[in-house]
């Protein structure tokens, strides 16, 4: 039974995030989420009482994934190949489940800024930005490392670049560019 509850929660999170991205967070109601899921409002309330609770639960899952990635990355040697693997894992995280949340956050920056979930996501992102360079690296190297992470993230947002490429190819191009930014000279 716990598996069904988890599946329902994940479906609610996914559908709510889709609606938030389509209509905007402020314009989406819990009733619309319930209707899209073809469930009653009380069934939705059983899992989540508010839109903020849905968004917070999604961000918490993402932040946990980011924290795990950062912890793993900090254990890696400071080599170009290790940094490229970190970028591949960030890209994989986006591919796996988090691309819709990053898209939502980019489109709804005001909402993310005003909610506690936004702070949690920002801390996780800052952690990911910190693992590709060492504190003693020169400022150019540190900036390149941060740009590499953003290249991977932005490569997952089709409307930012007018490249007529399928998603998989756009992701591969973003990884290639990011890899160049963190490569040893």
Report domain extents, the chain. 1-49, 56-182
* Contact (CB, 8 A) for 55 and 115: yes
* Candidate CATH numbers 1.10.10.60, 1.10.3720.10, 3.40.50.300, 1.10.275.10; the one for domain 1-49: 1.10.10.60
State CA 135 to chain mean position distance.
Answer: 25
**Same topology for domains 1-49 and 56-182, yes or no?**
no
Q: What pLDDT does residue 158 have?
A: 63
Provide the pLDDT for residue 1. 46
pTM: 0.78
Which phi and psi angles does 85 have, rounded to 5°? -65, -35
CATH assignment of 56-182, given 2.30.30, 2.60.40, 1.10.10, 1.10.357? 1.10.357
Is the CB of residue 174 less than 8 Å from the CB of residue 150? no
3-class SS of residue 100? helix
Helices (H), 75-166: 80-93, 99-107, 109-114, 116-130, 139-154
- Give the pLDDT confidence score for residue 42 in this predicted structure: 92
Q: What is the dihedral of CA 136, 142, 148, 154, to 10 degrees?
A: 130
**Mean pLDDT in consecutive groups of 10 residues from the start of the chain, 185 residues:** 68 89 87 94 93 88 88 91 93 78 76 81 85 87 92 75 75 91 83
């Amino acid at each position: 039974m716990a598996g069904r509850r988890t599946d329902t929660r994940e479906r609610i999170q996914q559908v709510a995030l889709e609606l938030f991205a389509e209509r905007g967070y402020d314009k989406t109601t819990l009733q619309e989420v319930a209707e899209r899921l073809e469930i009653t409002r009380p069934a939705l309330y059983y899992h989540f009482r508010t839109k903020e609770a849905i968004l917070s639960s999604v961000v918490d899952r993402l932040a946990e994934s980011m924290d795990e990635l950062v912890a793993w990355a900090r254990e890696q040697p400071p080599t170009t190949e290790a940094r490229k693997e970190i970028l591949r894992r960030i890209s994989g995280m986006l591919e796996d489940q988090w691309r819709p949340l990053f898209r939502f956050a980019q489109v709804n920056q005001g909402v993310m800024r005003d909610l506690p979930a936004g702070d949690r996501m920002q801390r996780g992102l800052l952690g990911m930005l910190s693992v590709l360079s060492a504190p003693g690296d020169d400022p150019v190297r540190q900036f390149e490392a941060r740009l590499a992470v953003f290249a991977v993230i932005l490569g997952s947002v089709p409307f930012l670049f007018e490249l007529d490429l399928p998603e998989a190819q756009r992701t591969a191009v973003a990884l290639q560019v990011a890899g160049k930014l963190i490569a040893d000279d």
